[in-house]
Amino acid sequence: MKNLLVFMAISFMAVWGQAAELKSPNGSFHLSFEVKDGVPVYSLQLEGQPVILESRLGLELKGLEHLTNGFKLTKVDESSFDETWEPVWGETKEIRNHYNELAVTLEQEETERTMVIRFRLFDDGLGFRYEFPQQDNLTYFVVTDEKTQFAMADDHTAFWIPGDYDTQEYDYTISRLSEIRGLMDQAITPNASQTPFSDTGVQTALMMKTDDGLYINLHEAALIEYSCMHLELDDENMIFESHLTPDAVGNMAYMQAPTQTPWRTVIASKNAGDILLSNITLNLNDPCAYDDVSWIKPVKYIGVWWEMITGKSSWAYADLPSVKLGETDFSNAQPTGKHAANTEHVKMHIDFAAKHGFDQVLVEGWNVGWEDWFGKSKDYVFDFVTPYPDFDVDELREYAKSKGVRLMMHHETSSSVRNYERHMDEAYKFMEDNNYNAVKSGYVGDIIPRGEHHYGQWMVNHYIYAVKEAAKHKVMVNAHEAVRPTGLRRTYPNLLANESARGTEYEAFGGNKPAHTTILPFTRLIGGPMDYTPGIFEQDVSKYNPDNNSWVNTTIARQLALYVTMYSPLQMAADLPETYNKYLDALQFIKDVPVDWADTKVLEAEPGDFITYARKDKNSDNWFVGRTNDEEPRVSNIKFDFLEPGKKYVATIYSDKKDAHYKKNPKAYEIKKYVVTSKSKLSQKCAPGGGYAISLIEAQDKSETKGLKKL
């Protein structure tokens, strides 16, 4: 990676008053910082409009004087940074990291302790964090509360999910800030592990829109050795305050100076697309920690999974009330007859993957322990290496190899985390020995050690440990139910994806709101890619399992669009091969769409309504467009001016038919081909819960465009 680095440092030793200012490189953002009566406060404006009103900063400590007041500003350091770097994989080939920085040094007179707050102001927003330099009077300390405020200028519209120490798998609610309290009860739908904490607590990334059309997004970056931040709203004053995740004894974070908190981020723009395209989260993370990244490659996969999610098949092999690993004899057990992870069935999937160019086949339910894995608070629940009698590890390894396909490993931990760590080395070695290089991990259920939460410092530490240990074995990780990402994929690019939100599986658990995917990129995806597992062509779940009346709230055309609108280097075609075989023409888009990009544009975006992305393949000059649409019928109007001028492209448009509807007529899609250039435009109807997907393949010669209409 070649970097262009321009660095200027200006340091003021004597500070006039107790205030400092900072502007973004393009001058549109203005940050004000001040120590007012000993209390550090900041505010942020965008082109004269308030983004954050005056807000307090600080932390409360256990058994020590708090770091909230009694401060004096003793030093101000200003600098600038401008560097372009290349991610190992991503939405663009290059990322520019350009900011002005203000580091304010605060001395707490009574305790003689020092705290630094570092602000980085980008052209699309702000990041700031607390730092604790090495010093005599502050080494080990326990954070009992972080008091970072984000004071809102008005009763904005927010796209929120309930604050919770253990799950993010909630549908989004769109409401004014003042309405959160009244809507919290119904927003908290059941989950295997959940700990909501407040009537006005919400999770980050939090997306908001002001009445003036300003988009504001609050999140954090580089969550390392700290507790995950939620936001708690004082809904009288419209002030958000950071609310961390406690450990088993009620403390938030254990710190050893020199150290720092994660970055708190405020992305803001009049243009919704700028929020989606912001690289602030990644830029605030440390560069790649690995020397060798040649083994890290984006993945397109299918899986033995959706048939279990729908209830058609079972993860479990046997009809047993309980299992004791190492003791239960599976060879004599009564099979359920519904165990999908069996050798022949997996071979069929390998064949399908090979035929249609998928890299990997995820297989869930391959290993013993599924009979009683859920809801039992079971410690020794899986060993991650012992297959069921009907899953032939050796045979499948060789078969997959012969077909040029890999199996994808599955490590459901059942949240028994000590058990996972005890087996981790052996489990990763098993992967290496059997040609697996990617693992989907899961943390379903309450955490063991009991009392810890999915988003506390203890588990934040574990998730990173699992990724770093995986790297030793050249293994890529896709962690479900883990803490939502905060850009750590820059530092550890083998963390390909997380779930960490309400994904496609919930379509089989009652359905997601049709607008769900018009919000997720503004919230969940701000921190990193999501393994959303789209590609469901059969909406009627009862077709798979008569006892399950769920409906997948999306048209087929919109499912295709998600491969473009839900960015991830790890993409699943989640439905069953037998269903895809009925819609091979639609499947073609999934086969064509890349999983790694050189460039990304947002053509249209309104959170909660629609998003249209255009992306350029990293490995060719082809472009792909996707539009996801909410429950309203809409017309999308886009220009193809992102294409290279002078070139011709064959556009294949997969769209909703005129009368399509996510519920009434979801399978009504049509496929049309056109010739398209940078001067082309498109006006496309989108059904309720619909959308469209377009592949733009550069035409190499005239024969490819013969007979096609021009857009």
Contact set with a second copy (CB under 8 A): 136, 139-140, 142, 247-249, 251, 254, 256-257, 321-322, 324, 372, 376-379, 418, 421-422, 425, 449-452, 458, 461, 465
Instruction: Kindly tell me which of 322 and 683 has the beta carbon lying closer to a second copy.
Output: 322
Active-site residue flag, 452: no
What is d(CA 436, CA 224) in angstroms, rounded to the nearest whole number? Answer: 28
Question: For 431, phi and psi rounded to 5 degrees?
Answer: -60, -50
Shortest reach from residue 145's CB to a second copy, in Å = 17
Q: Of 251 and 437, which CB lies nearer to a second copy in the complex structure?
A: 251
Contact 156, 209 (CB under 8 A): yes
Q: Cβ of residue 467: shortest distance to a second copy, in angstroms?
A: 14
Q: How far apart, in whole angstroms, are the C-alpha atoms of residue 481 and residue 167?
A: 7
d(CA 534, CA 122): 33
How far is the C-alpha of 33 from the C-alpha of 212, rounded, in Å?
Answer: 25
> What is the closest distance, in whole angstroms, from the C-beta atom of residue 455 to a second copy in the complex?
15
Closer CB to a second copy, 321 or 337, in the complex: 321
How far is residue 426's CA from residue 69's CA, in Å, rounded to a whole number? 50
Pick between residue 10 and residue 249 the one whose CB is nearest to a second copy.
249
CB of 407 to a second copy, least distance (A): 27
Minimum distance from residue 409 beta carbon to a second copy (Å): 21
Nearest distance in Å: CB 249, a second copy: 5
Q: Which helix (H) or strand (E) holds 643?
A: none
Query: Please, what's the b/e burial string for 37-51 (b: 16 or more CB within 10 A of its CB; e: otherwise)?
Result: eeebbbbbbbeeebb
Q: Which is nearer to a second copy, 225 or 599 (CB)?
A: 225
3-state secondary structure 92-134: CCCEEEEEEEEEEEEEECCCCEEEEEEEEEECCEEEEEEEECC
If you ran DSSP here, which 8-state letter would residue 644 be given? P
Pick 62 or 347: Cβ nearer a second copy: 62
Nearest-approach distance from CB 589 to a second copy, in angstroms = 44
Least gap, CB of 221 to a second copy (angstroms):
22
- Per the residue annotation, which of 220, 505, 507, 631 is the catalytic one? 505
Query: Which amino acid appears at position 73 of this protein?
Result: L
Nearer CB in complex with a second copy: 454/558: 454
Are 319 and 333 spatial neighbours (Cβ–Cβ below 8 Å)? yes
Q: Which is nearer to a second copy, 184 or 459 (CB)?
A: 459
Comparison of 334 and 683: residue with beta carbon closer to a second copy: 334
- 131 closest CA partner among 121, 120, 123, 458: 120
Spatial distance between the Cα atoms of 507 and 171, rounded to a whole number of angstroms: 11
Joined together, the tokens standing for residue 597 give: 């990009």
Task: Count CB atoms within 10 A of the CB of residue 461.
Answer: 13
What is the H or E stretch that residue 233 is in? strand 229-234
Cis bond before residue 321 (omega within 30° of 0): no
Q: 3-class secondary structure for 565-618?
A: HCCCCEEECCCCHHHHCCCHHHHHHHHHCCCCEEEEEEEEEECCCEEEEEEEEC
Residue 455 or 458: the one with the smaller Cβ distance to a second copy is: 458
Buried b (16+ CB within 10 A) or exposed e, 298-332: bbbbbbbbbbbbbbbbbbbbbebeebeeeebebee
Check if the beta carbon of residue 514 is closer than 8 Å to that of residue 631: yes
Q: How far is the CB of 417 from a second copy (least distance, A)?
A: 9
Write phi, then psi, for 363 (nearest 5 degrees): -125, 115
Tokens of 319: 């009809």
Nearest distance in Å: CB 226, a second copy: 12
d(CA 688, CA 660): 8
Residues annotated catalytic, as ranges: 505
